[in-house]
């Protein structure tokens, strides 16, 4: 218990794979996940949950269907409301913290080859 301190930078250093969220903490029924990304993800929607994005390192654009886009830099966060179709894009390597309920798939309603296992810790 008293050894459960997590250093974000140290954990991200363990993650090579892109677009593959790794769980770093559980808070009640929510998971805090770390994700390394680069390039364009797929358009998708989470119909059951908001999705929190915090930029640990790098920059991320989140395109929002019919609502423009948001540009996020290190130290900034944004909450994509449930039911809002979105697509993350990172031109360079970017380290994201995501918070969402346990059981949430990275590709939401759309599935496909980028769908990652949901239960891997780092």
State the residues that interact with a copy of itself by CB under 8 A: 1-9, 25-28, 30, 32, 49-52, 64, 67-73, 75-79, 81-82, 84, 99-101
Residue 35 Rama label (left phi>0; alpha psi -120 to 50; beta): beta
Toward a copy of itself, which CB reaches closer, 18 or 52? 52
**Nearest distance from C-beta of residue 113 to a copy of itself, angstroms:** 28
- Minimum CB distance to a copy of itself smaller for 52 or for 114: 52
CB of 9 to a copy of itself, least distance (A): 6
Instruction: Measure CA of the first residue to CA of the last residue in the chain; give whole Å.
Output: 17
Q: Which is nearer to a copy of itself, 24 or 37 (CB)?
A: 24
Cα gap 38→18, rounded to integer Å: 7
For 98, which DSSP code? E
Q: How far is the CB of 36 from a copy of itself (least distance, A)?
A: 16
Beta carbon of residue 87, minimum distance to a copy of itself (angstroms, whole number) = 14
Separation CA 62–CA 69 (nearest Å) = 6
Specify the pairing of strand 22-27 against strand 51-57.
unpaired
């Amino acid at each position: 218990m008293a050894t459960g301190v997590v250093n974000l930078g140290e954990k991200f250093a363990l993650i090579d794979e892109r677009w593959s969220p790794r769980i770093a903490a559980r808070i009640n029924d929510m998971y805090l996940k770390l994700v390394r990304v680069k390039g364009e993800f797929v358009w998708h929607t989470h119909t059951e949950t908001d999705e929190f994005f915090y930029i640990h390192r790098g920059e991320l654009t989140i395109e929002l269907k019919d609502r423009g886009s948001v540009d996020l830099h290190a130290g900034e966060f944004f909450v994509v409301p449930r039911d809002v179709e979105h697509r993350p894009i990172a031109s360079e390597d970017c380290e994201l913290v995501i918070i969402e309920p346990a059981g949430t798939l990275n590709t939401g309603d759309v599935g496909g080859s980028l769908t990652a296992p949901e239960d891997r810790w780092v």
